[in-house]
């Protein structure tokens, strides 16, 4: 059983895992999907795109949830609607063929692309809790009441047309807005909670957290065996960890050129499929990690971030 995630959309033709609210994996059940969902998934993006993803990720494990890395400009290009809003209500229910879905009400809206004068926006996504069952789709963002977010989404806003997975690129399409302790004011963060310091060359730069004392020094256990006496001795060696993001200068990813592997898109192909095919060949840096000790001290406010998105949207 394999799972394919395009733009953060999980297509699992066999089952959706359901977990109890406690997070325990002891009690699970499965909700079967209809075979027709596979056909709809193919129709959404077209066989050329699906083949391209399979070529790019053939080494991935069978149960992996695959997401195409996107920079901010690419995410804006794929999005129909970009807005900032505060979650004021969440309701969840079971929907046949899809399982548990949650409807998030966003208020105090600020639009950067699409829509406009609405006072509220309703985003419906797979996942949530109904009774004793909790559904958690792999890699998808979770929204909390009274928290504010910038969201990049499809025009369906969560419907059968987007399989109730409307956020572009899964968590890549969500940017929480919350107070940063360094500047003591609300600023934009990425989905992993890292503050956005800048947008440069189409991607965001985020500041990593300083490692804890335990992370700074990783133990290595060395066992010495004395063949003459038959005894052994264990020593603990401590060395600094170097697995934290090491530089403000990103290392460019090698560009994957798949044009020769795929036929040209057929006439009348889904425009989103054609666009995604183009993005997969661009080979960009999705984000830049800035070490905490190289922090430039800059932070992006909601309005500054939305202005960048508006500029990207006007480039079309």
Q: Among residues 100, 98, 101, 117, which one has the least CA distance to residue 109? A: 117
What pLDDT does residue 281 have?
A: 81
Same-domain pairing of 216 and 196: no
Joined together, the tokens standing for residue 75 give: 């995410």
What confidence tens digit (pLDDT) does each residue in 121-156 have? 999 999 999 999 888 888 888 899 999 999 999 999
Same-domain pairing of 152 and 288: yes
Q: Among residues 286, 268, 86, 257, which one has the least CA distance to residue 168? A: 286
Domain boundary among 200, 220, 244: 244
Same-domain pairing of 135 and 230: no
Domain boundary among 222, 244, 266: 244
What pLDDT does residue 287 have?
A: 93
Same-domain pairing of 270 and 124: yes
What pLDDT does residue 230 have?
A: 66
CB-CB contact of 16 with 31 (8 Å): yes
What pLDDT does residue 80 have?
A: 94
Same-domain pairing of 233 and 86: no
Same-domain pairing of 121 and 174: yes
Domain boundary among 221, 244, 267: 244
What pLDDT does residue 280 have?
A: 81
Considering its fold, how many domains does the chain have in total? 2
Same-domain pairing of 113 and 231: no
State whether the Cα torsion 153-156-157-161 is positive or negative: negative
State whether the Cα torsion 121-126-127-128 is positive or negative: positive
Regions of the chain where pLDDT drops below 50: 1-65, 241-261
Same-domain pairing of 218 and 307: no
Same-domain pairing of 129 and 71: yes
Same-domain pairing of 25 and 104: yes
Same-domain pairing of 150 and 285: yes
CA distance 175 to 171: 8
What confidence tens digit (pLDDT) does each residue in 188-242 have? 999 999 999 999 999 999 999 887 655 555 566 666 666 667 677 776 665 554 4
Q: Which domain holds residue 200?
A: 3-208+248-314
Same-domain pairing of 194 and 265: yes
Output the pTM of the full model.
0.68
CA distance 301 to 169: 22
What pLDDT does residue 147 have?
A: 97
């Amino acid at each position: 059983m394999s799972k394919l995630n395009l733009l953060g959309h999980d297509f699992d033709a066999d089952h959706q895992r359901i977990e109890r609210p406690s997070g325990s994996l002891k009690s699970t059940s499965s909700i079967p999907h209809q075979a027709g969902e596979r056909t709809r998934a193919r129709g959404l993006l077209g066989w050329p795109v699906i083949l391209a993803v399979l070529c790019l990720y053939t080494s991935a494990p069978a149960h992996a949830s695959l997401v195409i890395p996107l920079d901010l400009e690419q995410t804006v290009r794929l999005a129909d609607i970009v807005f900032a809003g505060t979650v004021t209500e969440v309701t969840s229910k079971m929907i046949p063929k899809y399982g548990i879905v949650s409807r998030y009400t966003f208020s105090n809206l600020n639009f950067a692309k699409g829509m406009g004068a609405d006072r509220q926006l309703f985003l419906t996504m797979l996942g949530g809790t109904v009774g004793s069952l909790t559904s958690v789709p792999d890699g998808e963002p979770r929204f909390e009441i009274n928290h504010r977010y910038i969201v990049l989404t499809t025009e369906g806003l969560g419907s059968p047309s987007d399989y109730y997975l409307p956020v572009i690129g899964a968590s890549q399409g969500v940017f929480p807005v919350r107070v940063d302790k360094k500047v003591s004011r609300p600023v934009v963060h990425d989905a992993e909670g890292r503050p956005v310091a800048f947008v440069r060359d189409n991607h965001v730069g985020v500041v990593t957290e300083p490692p804890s004392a335990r992370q700074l020094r990783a133990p290595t256990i060395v066992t010495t065996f004395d063949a003459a006496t038959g005894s052994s001795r264990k020593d603990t060696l401590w060395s600094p960890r170097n697995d934290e993001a090491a530089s403000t200068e990103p290392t460019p990813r090698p560009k994957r050129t798949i044009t020769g592997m795929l036929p040209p898109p057929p006439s009348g192909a889904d425009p989103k499929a054609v666009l995604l095919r183009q993005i997969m060949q661009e080979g960009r840096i999705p984000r830049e990690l800035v070490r905490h000790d190289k922090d430039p001290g800059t932070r992006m406010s909601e309005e500054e971030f939305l202005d960048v998105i508006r500029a990207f949207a006007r480039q079309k």
